[in-house]
Amino acid sequence: MGIHVVGMGGSLGRDSDCLHALRLALNAAASAGASTELLDVRELDLPLYLHGSPLSPGAIQLREAVARADAMIWATPLYHGTVSGAVKNAIDYLETLAKHEPPYLTGRFVGLIATAGGYQALQAINTMEYCVRSLRGFTVPLVVPIDRGWQAFTAEGQAVEPRLQQQLAQLGELVVQSANRYRGSST
């Protein structure tokens, strides 16, 4: 069975630059041989996480998709120096995998993308890296902070600059390669 990569992120806006970047990275993961699944935080429509509360349909979809994932790619817009509330809320729902076997993101690689209006996208990447580590996952060493996200993509969701397209493709491929290597070494 091949690697399954779940992309999670986006924003609550209708035309999300962050979601464009996530789709491009997932397309590269698919080209590298993985099956992929996109979890758009806007479509998940998650209520604020409250431990022990009944799970909404979007929360169930998120929990089940992450439980099936061999690897993930997360993408967030930068809001006030960190991840957006919508993406952080989705990350908080990963607590529902505490009793899953393996728990949380144990042994899964996660690629990280952030978009920003200025030059601070790396701040959101750093925050997500802490989250992945606390959930027992691994981040791949290549990250894609995207400055001036509103200018980075066409209306059709393609990267304006070939270099950005290349970086997103490398990230998608690296997530698949890392998951394949880990799977091969843990059997």
Residues 91-117 pLDDT 10s: 999 999 999 999 999 999 999 999 998
Residue 1 confidence (pLDDT): 67
- As for how many domains the chain has, the answer is 1
**Is the backbone peptide bond immediately before 102 cis, with ω within 30 degrees of 0?**
yes
Residue 62 confidence (pLDDT): 98
Boundaries of domain holding 113: 4-185
Residue 172 confidence (pLDDT): 97
Residues 3-38 pLDDT 10s: 999 999 988 887 789 999 999 999 999 999 999 999
Find the farthest-apart pair of alpha carbons in the chain and give their distance in angstroms, rounded: 46
Task: Provide DSSP, 43-76.
Answer: HH-PPPP-TTSPPPHHHHHHHHHHHH-SEEEEEE
Residues 43-68 pLDDT 10s: 999 999 999 999 999 999 999 999 99
Write the CATH number for 123.
3.40.50.360
Residue 83 confidence (pLDDT): 96
Rounded Cα gap, residues 180 and 174, in angstroms? 10
